[in-house]
Amino acid sequence: MTTTSTPFAPVKWQDDALVLLDQTRLPVETIYLTLTTSEEVWAAIRHLQVRGAPAIGMAAAYGLYLGVRSSDANDFEAFWHHLSEQADYLGTSRPTAVNLFWALDRIKARVQREAGKPVAELKAAVLDEALSIQREDAEVCRRIGEHLLTLLKDGMGILTHCNPGALATAAYGTATAPLYLAKERGWNLKVYADETRPVLQGARLTAYELQQAGIDVTLICDNMAAMVMAQGKVQAVIVGTDRVAANGDVANKIGTYGVAVLAHAHGIPFYVAAPLSSVDLDTPTGADIPIEERPAEEITHGLGKQVAPDGIKVYNPAFDVTPARYITAIVTENGIYKPDEIRNCKR
């Protein structure tokens, strides 16, 4: 396993508990939450204390263990029933990032493979699989970064949206992985981070983690991206994803679609960093991806105080879908694909 050079540990299994870096408090406060029940994990996912597709999957995996570790089931059937109930429950925490369901299904598949063993061993297998998911994620992100780096050159300007960073993964991030690797190689990339309304993951998280890592990052408001592109400051856009559909459409944080259209208009390549855990070949097109709608208060009170009139109607989709035609390439740990090739990607 490769060692990591990114400074954050957003998800940790420590002293028989799940320890999460509370991302709603960054960048002002660094507070860790210690969670010991699946209900607490469900709430932490729902309320964005842990967020970003791979981190949600990792947290849910540990949440599943917390949900079954005290199970009084004494045979496989009873344990399977309890495990399935807990997995279904954790699956209701957020709908869009497929990594959540991928992680829960992966654990269920492991337990199926171990059917016949004593319940204590099945419980141990659940934890072991959760730990493997986290361990592998760091390596997956590094490989995505290495592939992406082949598409970049020293001195480029890179624009990103939301937080596809180390704070959203086990290490490196997905879209940020090439930025960390470029830094290790002594390159000078200039990164533009969209602030990412309404929850400001770009300002609070991406700008913060890249700054902490000594990467040249400049924060811009979302509505400045067109200007920055027109000024020739951006040579590539790299974003993460919450789900890639079989036809190459990509769901990511709201605003990504607009950035893709802008990149297309300016002739700038638009890359999606996608671990295979985010590639969902069972979802035929972007129109089939469930898009989460979040509370109105994220917009009306988004900056810590009321910024909109009482009673105003609000529409707050948390994600949008970028059509495959605006995507130059989808970069996975197993290689670089054109969107229409993703259904045949190596898994």
Q: Looking at 52-60, 83-91, 128-136, 330-338, which segment touches ligand MRU (CB under 6 A)?
A: 52-60
Using left for φ > 0, alpha for ψ between -120 and 50, and beta otherwise, residue 16 falls in: left
Q: Is 88 a catalytic residue?
A: no
Tell me the β-bridge partners of 146: none
163 is in an annotated binding site: no
Near ligand MRU by CB under 6 A: residue from 26, 41, 52, 320? 52
* 253 is an interface residue for ligand MRU by CB under 6 A: yes
Q: Which is nearer to ligand MRU, 49 or 68 (CB)?
A: 49
Using left for φ > 0, alpha for ψ between -120 and 50, and beta otherwise, residue 52 falls in: left
- Residue where the block lists tokens 């592939």: 147
Do 166 and 6 contact (CB within 8 A), yes or no?
yes
Per annotation, catalytic residue among 222, 242, 249, 280:
242
Q: Which is nearer to ligand MRU, 54 or 286 (CB)?
A: 54
What residues from 86 to 105 belong to the interface with ligand MRU (CB under 6 A)?
97
Of 206, 173, 152, the closest CA to residue 328 belongs to 152
- Residue where the block lists tokens 């009306």: 300
* 142 is an interface residue for ligand MRU by CB under 6 A: no
52 is in an annotated binding site: yes
The strands making up 319-322's β-sheet, listed across from edge to edge, are: 279-280, 243-245, 250-253, 319-322
Near ligand MRU by CB under 6 A: residue from 18, 162, 203, 289? 162
Q: Looking at 3-11, 62-70, 163-171, 185-193, which segment touches ligand MRU (CB under 6 A)?
A: 163-171
Enumerate the H helices of 114-255 as residue ranges. Answer: 119-149, 177-184, 201, 207-212, 225-230
CA dist 166 to 145, 177, 283, 311, Å?
Answer: 12, 8, 27, 38
DSSP designation for 220? E
Q: Looking at 124-132, 149-157, 165-173, 264-272, which segment touches ligand MRU (CB under 6 A)?
A: 165-173
Q: Which residues are annotated as a binding site?
A: 51-53, 94, 201, 252-253
Known catalytic residues? 242
The residues of the shown chain that bind ligand MRU, judged by CB under 6 A, are: 48, 51-54, 97, 162, 164, 168-169, 173-174, 201, 240-242, 252-253, 318
